[in-house]
A and B are shown apart, each in its own frame.
Chain A
Amino acid sequence: MGSVIIGFFRFWYAFIVGDDWTVAAGVIAALAMTSLLVHRSVAAWWLMPIAVGVLLFTSLRRAAKDAY
């Protein structure tokens, strides 16, 4: 029973988070930061595209490094 539950959570973790957990964590952090800035009346539309670019770049760099 325990292994079924572990398997269930592992499946959903792999399905939603994927190969690089830092990307998922970065997405949540960037959205939280955007919300925080907007609530302080900052026009923070630029933050998400930059965050997406940085997350993609760092994740790819790490994957390329691990390949060699």
Chain B
Amino acid sequence: MHSVLLVLATFLACGVEMVEALTIVLAVGVTRGWRSTLVGVAAATVSLAMIVALLGSALTRIPIDDLRLVVGALLLMFGLEWLRKAILRASGYTPLHDEEAAFSRQLTAAQDAGTVVRAGLDWYAFTLSFKGVLLEGLEVAFIVVTFGSAPGGLPLAIFGAAAAVALVGGAGLLLQRPLSEVPENTMKYTVGLLLTSFGTFWGAEGAGVNWPGGDGAILAILAFLIILSLALASLLQQQRQRASTATAPARIGGELRWDPS
């Protein structure tokens, strides 16, 4: 069960970041040509692999309890951020991520940018695709490394991430357009839940806690977080609707007036 959740977390985290990176790469590739764009993607992928290898080997030198504490704290910080943003989007406080709009913006920017050739490459296409893939992938690299620090976790974490790269990359190649139908917020919400659950479990273990039920406690934490987050999302949604009703302009006597209630 533990392994399934670990693969699911890295698969979804990598998948959702890949969808966003794909939008940037497609927009640059379509307008500026594919050679420099793909060199940028390859350079970023190699950089990410190096980050995973370097951080992964550095983490193996830390004693297991200290490692769990550090990894737990990092997973909690990442997880709560993902969860917080997903709940704010679900309750309407923050707009949902629109891949079509992001694609249009990137397309216009790529068309308007001038051409500078460096090292035989269209520098704009190279740097934009490099930065896009590196920045979107950096958090995934951290997630893979932190999950990989669990005994036997690294192959599973890499498998989850690689499966997402293959699936999203394959879909992108096939469709040649941004994957706007992917339910990004639901994926981000699930990743947030999983990262926060593992972070709570490992962080507390690193602080010296013996969980009742052993590894099974992760499922209890996950269930608690699902109930809590759904309740918070519903509460915020109702609060937003009340606030919108209170500040909505009411048409009185042919004029737009602000309802004083």
Chains A and B form a bound pair: yes
- Secondary structure call for the A interface: helix
Q: Does B187 contact A (CB under 8 A)?
A: no
Chain A: minimal CB distance from B63 (Å): 14
Q: Does B177 contact A (CB under 8 A)?
A: no
Residues of A within 8 A of B240 (CB): 64
- Contact A43–B210 (Cβ < 8 Å): yes
Quick one: which of A34, A56, A64 contacts B229, CB cutoff 8 A?
Answer: A56
Residues of A within 8 A of B78 (CB): 18
- Secondary structure call for the B interface: helix
Quick one: which of B88, B208, B217 contacts A60, CB cutoff 8 A?
Answer: B88
Chain A: minimal CB distance from B144 (Å): 15
Interface centre among A35, A44, A55, A60 (most CB of B within 10 A): A60
0 or 1 for each of A23-63: is its CB under 8 Å from B? (1 = yes) = 11001100110110011000111011100110111011001
- Contact B208–A49 (Cβ < 8 Å): no
Chain A: minimal CB distance from B221 (Å): 6
8 A Cβ contacts from B203-217 to A = 203-204, 206-212, 217
- Contact B209–A68 (Cβ < 8 Å): no
Chain A: minimal CB distance from B156 (Å): 24
Chain B: minimal CB distance from A19 (Å): 7
Where the two chains meet, the residues of A that have a C-beta atom closer than 8 Å to any C-beta of B are 15-20, 23-24, 27-28, 31-32, 34-35, 38-39, 43-45, 47-49, 52-53, 55-57, 59-60, 63-64, 67-68
